[in-house]
Amino acid sequence: MLRMCCIPVVRDAARRLLRALPDRPGLLCLSHPLPTRAARRPAPGSPRPPATRAARCLLLLVALGAPTLRAQTPELRVDSDAPGVASSCLPQTVTTADGTVHVVWQDYRGPAWAVYYRRLPAFGAGASPPEVRLSMPPLPPGQGGNAIAPRIATDGNLALYVVWHTSMPDVELLMKTRSLDGGLTWAPASPLLDQITGLGVSSEYAGPPEIAADASGHVHVAWAQSNGVRDQIFYAVSLNRGTTWSVPPITQPVNVDTSGHSESPRLATDGAGFVYIAWLDHREPPYRDVWLRRSANFGLSWLPGEKRLNGHGSEIELELVAHVTSAAPIEHRVHAAWIDLSQSDLGGPLTEVRARSSYDGGLTWNTLPATVSDEQPDTEGQHAPAGSPAGGLFTAPGGSVGPLGSGGPPQGGLRGVLPRHVVAVTFNLDLALDGKGNVHAVYSRVDAPLVGRPTRVYHNRLDSETRLWGHEQPLSRGGVLYPTRGLPTLARARVAASAGFVYASWMQCDGDGDTRDEVLACWSTDNGLSWSAPSVVTLKPAGPGTSTSAHPALAALGNRCALVWDDRRESTDHSQLPLPPGAPIGAPDVFFRELPTH
């Protein structure tokens, strides 16, 4: 089975190519076993074979136009303070069209948390300038000034925009900065909006902000903040690459109904005028529902009304993506997905991924939410509606479409008439568009009976042409046994996609309680239809000892993908550090690696 070739990507690509041409003269069919050593030995007097099978395999890949192979890529430490001394963590990353990777993170070097940035030209292969502190100088000890939760966006060319929270005495500011030359220089940090309006100011941290930008110079920011009674959703827009910003009145949050607590905003824009904000809302206790509002003029004003996307439930995570089609007829597409929390027939927790889509700018939506995850391995009593092929796709009442097959429940409104025996926990949802209109979802799940079952990472895809969700695919192998380390142990499942290439990454531990946690990744070169085996990305030395690699973040650019994460391989005990929400214990450093995919 192509034992001569030790590079998995080469071997897998060659195997696919050769299997597609099994009868072509002169080609080695890798679907058959290799001949024995004696059979391979040339007969006396016969000419010696011109090349080994591995060499012929490489020549075949080149001849058939296979992607250029790159050597295994090295790690690069992004922060530049002494290893394991400060806490550099929770990185975020984007890529620009020139192949530069841009990384932001929060960092504690005393006496307060700060936001840092570094640019990595040529996917980390070029000369990299030193890191840059984006946040303001810290205040004296005890007076606040912590800068946390940075988020970065780009127009895809040279413009970069960063927002974050800064805590001041008794107040939380939303700060901003920008670079218009690809990160070479940065504007001084300043509040997003004038404090006099009350916007961008909160009495407590309400979660990280959301930011998006397009190639036309529009920059959008959404966040949750307190009005003195409860959190509401607010939004600001710049039409001139961050030079000036809109200042809506404090009395006009995005959510029309302000009677309940609103949280976890998600922001998406298609770059062609439509802007969407979705959030979780407690206006109808005890439910926490998914609501959405939209703009058709780049966020200058919001269309009347707001729409609830789910049936009443207790939703715990939310993601949102949008794009516009390039071919006629032009469609403004927006897709929302969330983790729905309900109860199984056994009374235990049942969380599943639900999704809805609109193809006309959010005006109309598919009637019922589709179920993306397949959380019903107990198939007793399940059967397809009359006339539908076993194991195929069928249309559920209301127009939702979903799979039926081994382990896969029907989607849409049919779940109510099927047995709900499963006690399963699904979490860590992420969405991405692949440039061809397909939507990719990754998430983690522990199946029934929970105790003693591994936590796994799954992928599913919404096909752009059929507009159907398919069957989920497991990406991870093994994984921590629940509840040895609890739900956060296989955390931060993330996905990125571009030009038909899809990349997934997650943190996975071995379940032994206190040793090595790794960042793993896998990738697809065919729009998510098939995937590579998962690979450990970190290159830290082997051996026992506490060494947590966590919080991966991805940014894709065609067939290349940047991966950043924080890593405690050099960490000493820094449990005394003041930890803002989400910060890891210890003193991690930020690392970068290009996924060695092609």
Does the residue 46 lie in any domain? no
User: What is the pLDDT, as a whole number, of residue 486?
Assistant: 44
Query: Are 588 and 490 in the same domain?
Result: yes
Contact 501, 523 (CB under 8 A): yes
Question: Do both 171 and 292 map to the same domain?
Answer: yes
Q: Residue 449 carries which DSSP code?
A: T
Question: Is the domain of 396 the same as that of 462?
Answer: yes
**pLDDT surpasses 60 at 377:** no
Residue 444 CB-density burial (10 A; 0-12 exposed, 13-18 middle, 19+ buried): buried
- Predicted local confidence at residue 14, as pLDDT: 41
**Same domain assignment for residues 27 and 99:** no
Give pLDDT tens digits for 329-346: 899 999 999 998 875 544
Distance in angstroms (rounded) separating the CA atoms of residues 546 and 40: 49
d(CA 135, CA 152): 13
Same domain, 65 and 85: no
Please list, residue by residue across 38-72, b when 16 or more beta carbons sit within 10 angstroms of its beta carbon and e when fewer do: eeeeeeeeeeeeeeebbebbbebbeeeebeeeeee
Give the position of tokens 């939209």.
294
Residue 542's pLDDT is what? 58
Average pLDDT over residues 404-420: 29
Going by C-beta distance under 8 Å and a sequence separation of 6 or more, which residues neighbour residue 33? 1
Angle among Cα 588, 593, 594 to the nearest 5 degrees reads 160
Query: Tokens 């205040």 sit at which residue?
Result: 139
The neighbour count for residue 296, using CB atoms within 10 Å, is: 17
Is the pTM here over 0.85, yes or no? no
Mean pLDDT of 559-567: 93
**Same domain for 154 and 20:** no
For the cut 50, the answer to whether the pLDDT of residue 68 exceeds it is: no
Which CATH number goes with the domain that contains 223?
2.130.10.150
Domain boundary among 69, 93, 121: 69
More confidently predicted of 146 and 486: 146
Report d(CA 561, CA 502) in Å as an integer: 9
Runs of H (alpha helix) within 375-515: none
Residue 103 CA to residue 116 CA, distance in Å, equals 8
Provide mean pLDDT across the span 296-325. 91
Residues 251, 167 share a domain: yes
**65 and 174 housed in the same domain:** no
**Preceding amide of 449 cis, omega within 30:** yes
Q: Checking DSSP bridges between strand 307-308 and strand 425-433, what pairing results, if any?
A: unpaired
> What is the domain extent for residue 30?
1-37+53-69
Task: Give dist(CA 378, CA 550) in Å, integer.
Answer: 33
Question: CA quadruple 10, 11, 13, 17: dihedral positive or negative?
Answer: positive
Task: Answer positive or negative: Cα dihedral of 253, 256, 259, 260.
Answer: negative
- The span from the CA of 526 to the CA of 540, in Å, is 31
pLDDT attached to residue 455: 79
- Whether residues 464 and 343 share a domain: the answer is yes
Instruction: Name the residue with higher pLDDT: 3 or 173.
Output: 173
Please, what is the Cα angle at 442 between 103 and 509, to 5 degrees?
75
Q: 42 in a domain, yes or no?
A: no
Asked, for residue 522, whether it belongs to a domain, the answer is yes
Instruction: Specify the pLDDT at position 231.
Output: 87
What residues contact residue 367 under an 8 Å CB cut-off, 6+ apart? 398, 399, 400, 412
Establish if 44 belongs to a structural domain. no
Q: Measuring CA to CA, which residue among 401, 479, 403 is closest to residue 447?
A: 479
Of 585, 362, 375, 550, the C-alpha closest to 472 is 375
In a domain, residue 43? The reply is no
State residue 25's pLDDT score: 29
pLDDT at 74: 86
The answer to whether residue 385 scores a pLDDT higher than 90 is no
Ranges 281-285, 421-425, 478-482: which has the least confidence: 478-482
Q: At residue 325, does pLDDT exceed 60?
A: yes
244 vs 111: which has the higher pLDDT: 244
Residue 47 vs residue 31, higher pLDDT = 47
pLDDT for 72 equals 67
Report the pLDDT averaged over residues 223-231: 81
Of 74-88, 376-390, 454-468, the poorest mean pLDDT is in: 376-390
**Segment 514-559, tens digit of pLDDT:** 456 788 999 999 999 999 999 888 887 655 555 678 899 999 998 9
Check if the beta carbon of residue 396 is closer than 8 Å to that of residue 414: yes
Domain total in the chain: 2
Per-residue pLDDT averaged across 404-429, rounded?
A: 44
pLDDT at 397 over 80: no
Helical (H) or strand (E) element with 149 = strand 147-154
Q: What is the number of H-type helices and E-type strands within the chain?
A: 3, 34
Considering the chain, what percentage of its residues have pLDDT values greater than 70? 65
Q: How far is residue 398 CA from its own chain's centroid?
A: 30
Residue 349 falls within a domain, yes or no?
yes
DSSP 444: E
> Are both 18 and 102 inside the same structural domain?
no
Looking at the fold, whether 63 and 202 belong to one and the same domain comes out as: no
Are residues 184 and 163 in contact, defined by beta-carbon separation less than 8 angstroms? no
Minimum mean pLDDT range among 103-107, 462-466, 576-580, 584-588: 576-580
**3-class DSSP assignment, residue 253:** coil
Q: Examine the pLDDT at 237 and tell me if it is beyond 90.
A: yes
My answer on whether 108 and 163 are in the same domain is yes
| Triad 488, 492, 493: Cα angle to 5° | 120
In tens, the pLDDT along 117-163 reads 999 999 988 888 999 999 987 666 666 678 999 999 999 889 999 99
Does pLDDT of 301 surpass 60?
Answer: yes
pLDDT in tens, 175-220: 999 999 999 999 999 988 754 455 656 656 677 899 999 999 999 9
Q: Are 434 and 527 in contact (CB under 8 A)?
A: yes
- Does 483 fall in a domain? yes
Mean pLDDT, the chain, whole residue set: 75
